[in-house]
Structure 1
């Protein structure tokens, strides 16, 4: 049932991934789920770049060097983490949003549609027992230096994915009752 998948969705981080590769077929299924997100005026603004293998190492090096170059007081542990985390992933999908050239909808609606595409990806990963985590560092604004991007395209973050040992401890999550967040008029 979809509600059970929604309730079981969790962030599973690169440190929890094992070395089992993610198949191209699994990634294609996850991207197909993204493609069915709602989109106002059918602009379908989501764009993805799939990074695997050596490209993950190159991404980590790029992010770390860009962090050291742009941060006023860089921290060594963060620079190292930027290098290491991508190498732990089975794949990273760069999450991008292509602005409608006609600007037929407000930009926030295209960002929201892209976020819904990512939610679909996350739910597909949950069902497929693939760990996933959406990272959105400020460094995404420099991604046009790492891969080619179209005019009016923005990188919104990275969707880390990795297989994980099913016996890892995933914390129980609770939510406050929806009644506390709802006003019936």
Structure 2
């Protein structure tokens, strides 16, 4: 498949459409290897990933559920249904990859550029997943800011969500895109 076709076939497949079957380590490694080739300025390579499977994934889900329930009791605005949906998704999908920004300690470039580099790393994983006929989804709930300790984040690190990958249980149709001509101005 050409790169253009891979881009057009990439989907944010809802996790409920993932098979529960585990992925081989070599497949996960291929996703991460693609991520590692994302462009970035000053060679900061600000992407970090934490891969959760099996018991570690179950522990992550339980920890996230407990943190969110505790924060909800303290008045944090998150609905019980959202807590359960998030935690059960972590339990259900075969692989959860925590996406982490490692900020350049010298702050040689603006943070937004490093966030953009991490986003491109995630896009590389997503395109590789598409090429491998895998389902993928990047979950970025606002409450990921509460998981620093759970994710064992270090200094100058920030969670940018969770990338889910697995086998496709059923095809998910393209939502399509709007007319490109309405989004481009040609200057001559």
Tell me if both proteins adopt one fold, taking TM over 0.5 as the criterion. Answer: yes
Structure 1 residues 133 and 106: alpha-carbon distance in aligned structure 2, compared to 1, 3 A threshold: same
1:66-110 Cα deviation digits (max 9, x unpaired): 222223355332222122111111111000011111111000000
Query: TM-score by structure 1 length?
Result: 0.93
Is 1:90 matched up with 2:76?
Answer: no
CA distance in 1, matches of 2:140, 2:133: 22
**Number of equivalences:** 183
Q: How does 1:8-19 map onto structure 2 within 5 Å?
A: 8-19=9-20
Q: Which residue of 1 aligns with 2:181?
A: 179
Counterpart CA distance in 2 for 1:124 and 1:89 is: 18
- Relative to structure 2, which stretch is displaced further, 143-152 or 131-140? 143-152
Work out whether residues 11 and 174 of structure 2, in 8 Å CA contact, stay in contact via their aligned partners in 1.
Answer: no
- CA deviation digits over 1:108-131, x for unaligned, max 9? 000000000000000000011111
> Which residue in 1 is equivalent to 2:113?
109
* C-alpha RMSD over aligned residues: 1.4
Map 1:121-132 → 2, pairs under 5 A: 121-132=125-136
Asked whether the 8 Å contact 2:100–2:161 carries over to 1, the reply is yes
Instruction: Give the aligned partner of residue 26 of structure 2.
Output: 25
CA contact (8 A) 2:9 2:174 kept: no
Q: Deviations over 1:120-148 (max 9, x none)?
A: 00000001111110001122212221132
Query: What does 1:133-148 correspond to in 2, within 5 Å?
Result: 133-148=137-152
* 8 Å CA contact 1:14, 1:86 repeated in 2: no
Once residues 82 and 154 of structure 2 are traced to their aligned partners in structure 1, the CA distance between those partners, rounded to angstroms, is: 30
Where structure 2 has 5 or more consecutive residues not aligned to the other structure, the ranges are: none
User: Hey, what's the Cα distance between the residues in 1 that align with 2:153 and 2:20?
Assistant: 30
Query: SS of the counterpart of 1:145?
Result: coil
Determine which of 140, 153, 177 is the counterpart of 1:149.
Answer: 153
Q: Is the 8 A contact 2:31 2:129 kept in 1?
A: yes
Equivalent-residue separation in structure 2 for 1:172 and 1:155 (angstroms): 28
Report what 1:60 is aligned to: 61
CA distance in 1, matches of 2:152, 2:79: 29
